[in-house]
Amino acid sequence: MARQDNAGDRISEAEHAVMEALWERSPLSAAEVCDRVCAERDWSMPTVKTLLSRLVAKEAVGTKPHGRKFLYRPLIERSDYVGGESRRLVDRLFGGRAAPLFAHLAQEEALTDDDLAEIEALLREMRR
């Protein structure tokens, strides 16, 4: 799978919506992608085709001819993308340390009791 290491190749918020549709189910035609994202985002088919073209150019999405249309599929795993974006967030906003991120989330009451229990379980697992 391709990686998105170059900052110029970063996936925009709009492109991310298209990627989520493809990660959920693929391959999809441009029309099928539009069926999944256009209504909620007030987009048209040309918008989706533009975003798909950008993602193909960034090597985040691959194409395969299927009759008179193309089918699109992600070339990067969602987990790889999320991992890279998470690392960039921690690096940029918290000096590369995760602890200040958790402290910030706790101070803003953005962590539920379920979140805290899950984090505690992960920490216990990591210490084994």
Residue 23: which CATH number? Answer: 1.10.10.10
Q: Are residues 45 and 16 in the same domain?
A: yes
What's the whole-number mean pLDDT along residues 1-13?
Answer: 62
**Residue 43 covered by a domain:** yes
What's the whole-number mean pLDDT along residues 41-52?
Answer: 97
Q: Are residues 47 and 84 in the same domain?
A: no
Q: Which helix (H) or strand (E) holds 17?
A: helix 13-24
Q: Are residues 68 and 82 in the same domain?
A: no
CA angle 3, 80, 19 (to 5 degrees): 85
| pLDDT range class, residue 33, cuts 50, 70, 90 | very high
Please name which of 124, 15, 99 lies closest in space to residue 60, comparing C-alpha atoms.
15
**Residue ranges making up the domain that contains 49:** 11-74
Q: Are residues 30 and 53 in the same domain?
A: yes
Residue 6 has pLDDT above 80, yes or no: no
**Residue 23 covered by a domain:** yes
Per cent of the chain over pLDDT 70 is: 94
pLDDT at 122: 85
**Residue 4 covered by a domain:** no
If you average pLDDT over each of 38-47, 85-94, 118-127, which comes out highest? 38-47
